[in-house]
Amino acid sequence: MRALFCLAFVVTLIPHTAMAQKICIDPGHGGGDSGAAACGLLEKDINLDTSLRLRSLLQGAGYTVIMTRDTDVFIELIDRSAYANAQGADRFTSIHANAFDGTVSGIETFAHTSAGSTSLDLRDKIQE
């Protein structure tokens, strides 16, 4: 439930000028690529569940959303970005639930180093 609240909060941070934007959500891993595994959970399943919830939140806020996958299938990385580009996505977000062997807390938020100020601002707001 905490993750869903965080996603809802992030949606409110996106400026209304972005409402016409098409957002591509990429649930990391999938199919035979399970990603991290712990406590009986597979990263690919967490990523897909989180991505489906984020899609619903974004669509409810008026965004156009496409997904690289909405079932448990594997898609090559190059095909994920090619799909987003071919569909004219304005934003691309890849969802992951990384594992770590030590003590860690918090989130990671990345943006391309040559991204525009809107992307960097969104990255900073998410990280806060």
Domain boundaries, given as residue ranges, for the chain: 34-67
pLDDT at 14: 56
Asked if pLDDT for residue 5 goes beyond 60, the answer is no
Q: Quick one: pLDDT band at residue 32, thresholds 50, 70, 90?
A: very high
Token representation of residue 38: 């712990």
Kindly list the distances between the CA atom of residue 32 and the CA atoms of 26, 35, 45, 122, in Å, as whole numbers in the listed order.
Answer: 16, 9, 12, 32
Longest CA–CA span in the chain (Å) reads: 41
Structure tokens at 36: 């991290």
Beta strands in 1-128 (DSSP E): 22-27, 37-38, 41-42, 64-67, 91-95
Mean pLDDT of the chain: 83
CA atoms of 75 and 83, how far apart (whole Å):
10
Tell me the C-alpha distance between 47 and 37, whole Å.
Answer: 12
Alpha-carbon distances, residue 26 vs 23, 103, 116, 121 (angstroms): 10, 27, 21, 21
Structure pTM? 0.78
